[in-house]
């Protein structure tokens, strides 16, 4: 069994069929349940478990490629290090799910540095294809699915990572083991403030606050930790353009109408919330 397949060798312990919810096991190049529902494992090492076509989003392959470059430059390492510290300090965490993982930077880094069992999914097939190609260790279980119906078994995860992504807290509760954790990362009002200042007149929500997101988190979970992490990163001209193309903040902004030449640094700031049910 090659490495792209072997990462799914224990699938029957964790995965359930998105159609009938029965266990799935690896047979040949596919995951198959006892009712015969079959999902092929891509030659890149991921499986598409989405039952319907993905809705169109603002995230193109180009935006994911730019995001990969920005993350590999280390611009969000302040977030990564906080998460790794928590996982490393919590030995009860073995199985981790990265929700809305995008091109997979956090999942790859966490697997490499903590040796935990990592599952990661996104709604975008293009994002997961990039993620699996970049996974040189072929260790993360990548899959495409919908946030509202994640094809993993009840109580199978010890920690769910929700990094700058939407959340489905009832589904998270189903997936978590007793005493499992949700790690939620959300931008603060200071995050990318240099960009916000330049395009404030064009933003739908110029006076951003994350408090409503925090309140929604606390509606479902008991917060055991809330910490703000912050860094100022310097930008080369290449990095500046990658960031402008990548950030969702500018998806509805005419970028060509802004003089970006004076954008030489950025504030990266996020609240890291850790909660339990």
User: Does 59 appear as a known binding residue?
Assistant: no
The overall pTM is greater than 0.85: yes
Mean pLDDT computed over 50-73: 80
Residue 35 marked in a binding site:
no
Q: What is the pLDDT of residue 205?
A: 73
Is the pLDDT at 200 greater than 60? The verdict is yes
pLDDT tens string 10-61: 999 999 999 999 999 999 999 999 999 999 999 999 999 998 765 666 577 7
Residue 201 has pLDDT above 80, yes or no: no
pLDDT at 109 over 70: yes
Q: Is 202 annotated as a binding residue?
A: no
pLDDT in tens, 78-89: 999 999 999 999
17 is in an annotated binding site: yes
Q: CA of 230: how far to CAs of 29, 113, 187, 189, 263, in Å?
A: 44, 22, 10, 12, 18
**Beta strands in the chain, from DSSP E residues, in sequence order:** 24-27, 30-33, 38-40, 46-48, 95-99, 117-122, 141-144, 157-163, 176-187, 222-234, 265-276
The 30-33 sheet, strands edge to edge? 24-27, 30-33, 38-40
Q: Confirm whether residue 101 is marked as ligand binding.
A: no
The conformational region for residue 138 under phi > 0 = left, psi -120 to 50 = alpha, else beta, is left
- Does residue 38 have a known ligand-binding role? no
Cβ neighbours, 10 Å, residue 88: 13
Give residue 118's pLDDT.
99
- Per-residue pLDDT band for 258 (boundaries 50, 70, 90) equals confident
Contact 178/159 with Cβ under 8 angstroms?
no
| C-beta separation of 127 from 64 below 8 A | yes
Please choose, from the candidates 173, 204, 209, the residue with its C-alpha nearest in 3D space to the C-alpha of residue 189: 209
Query: Residue 255 has what pLDDT?
Result: 81
In the block, tokens 């995008």 appear at 102
pLDDT value at residue 202: 74
73 is in an annotated binding site: no
CATH of domain 56-276: 3.40.50.150
């Amino acid at each position: 069994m090659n490495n792209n397949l072997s990462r799914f060798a224990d699938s029957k312990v964790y995965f359930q069929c998105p159609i009938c919810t029965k266990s799935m096991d690896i047979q040949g190049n596919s995951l198959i349940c006892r009712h015969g529902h079959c999902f092929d494992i891509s030659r890149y090492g991921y499986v598409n478990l989405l039952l319907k076509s993905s809705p169109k989003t603002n995230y193109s392959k180009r935006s994911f490629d730019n995001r990969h470059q920005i993350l590999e430059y280390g611009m969000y390492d302040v977030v990564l290090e906080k998460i790794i510290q928590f996982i490393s300090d919590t030995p009860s965490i073995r199985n981790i799910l990265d929700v809305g993982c995008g091109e997979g930077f956090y999942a790859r880094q966490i697997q490499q540095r903590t040796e935990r069992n990592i599952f990661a999914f996104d709604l975008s097939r293009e994002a997961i294809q990039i993620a699996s190609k970049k996974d040189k260790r072929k260790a993360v279980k990548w899959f495409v699915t919908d946030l509202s119906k994640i094809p993993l078994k009840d109580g199978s995860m010890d920690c769910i990572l929700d990094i700058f992504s939407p959340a489905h807290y009832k589904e998270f509760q189903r997936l978590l083991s007793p005493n499992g954790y949700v790690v939620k990362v959300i931008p603060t009002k200071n995050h990318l403030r240099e960009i916000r200042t330049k395009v404030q007149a064009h933003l739908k929500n110029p006076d951003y606050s994350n408090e409503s997101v925090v309140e929604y988190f606390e509606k479902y979970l008991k917060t055991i930790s809330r910490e703000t992490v912050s860094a100022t990163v310097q930008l080369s001209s290449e990095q500046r353009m990658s960031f402008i193309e990548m950030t969702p903040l500018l998806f509805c902004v005419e970028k060509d109408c802004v003089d970006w030449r004076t954008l030489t640094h950025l504030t990266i700031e996020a609240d890291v919330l850790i909660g339990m049910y």
